[in-house]
């Protein structure tokens, strides 16, 4: 009988593989929200995406969902370090940088590209084109909200 893996275990297995094959480990060096690293954020978004798909009983390409979610913020820079102001539009531009970096390091499916480049909808004006991309778009907003609220709670404590 097959072992049922948790969303977190599924995601960690893929993340470990990405780390071995690329620059993915660099995402641990950059902060996303509060004290949460880009790596931790992407792990959370991927696991939340899997949980949402299961909760909604949606048929999805789980491999593409997880890989796309893990790579959605593969921009590989500290967007908080902004001496020349070029990161002022990070929310609008980082999906394209993430996609460029991911294409340099991996062979991506059409769905994985869709997930990466459209996860910031509506800041990125074209909506996601697949269930998987919509799930990551939603999961990203859920996780970012939690991370931001935790940061604000820690500041007021």
Q: State mean pLDDT over 42-49.
A: 98
Taking only the tens place, the pLDDT of each residue in 95-113 is 999 999 999 999 999 999 9
Give the percent of the chain with pLDDT over 70: 92
> How high is the pLDDT of residue 79?
87
CA dist., res. 21 & res. 2, Å (int)? 27
Q: Give the closest residue to 72 by CA, choosing from 48, 102, 47, 92.
A: 102
Q: Which DSSP symbol is given to 79?
A: T
Question: Is residue 1 pLDDT above 90, yes or no?
Answer: no
């Amino acid at each position: 009988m097959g072992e049922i893996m948790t969303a977190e275990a599924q995601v960690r297995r893929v993340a470990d593989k990405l780390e071995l094959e690329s620059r993915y480990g660099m995402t641990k060096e950059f902060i996303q929200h509060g004290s949460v690293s880009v790596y931790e954020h992407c792990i959370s978004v991927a696991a939340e995406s899997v949980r949402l798909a299961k909760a909604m009983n949606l048929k999805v390409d789980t491999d593409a969902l997880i890989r796309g979610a893990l790579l959605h913020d593969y921009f590989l820079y500290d967007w908080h370090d902004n001496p020349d102001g070029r990161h002022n539009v990070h929310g609008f531009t980082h999906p394209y940088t993430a996609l460029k970096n991911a294409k340099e390091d991996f062979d991506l499916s059409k769905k994985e590209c869709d997930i990466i480049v459209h996860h910031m909808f509506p800041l990125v004006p074209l909506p996601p084109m697949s269930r998987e991309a919509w799930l990551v778009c939603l999961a990203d907003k859920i996780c970012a909200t939690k991370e931001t609220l935790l940061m604000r709670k820690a500041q007021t404590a």
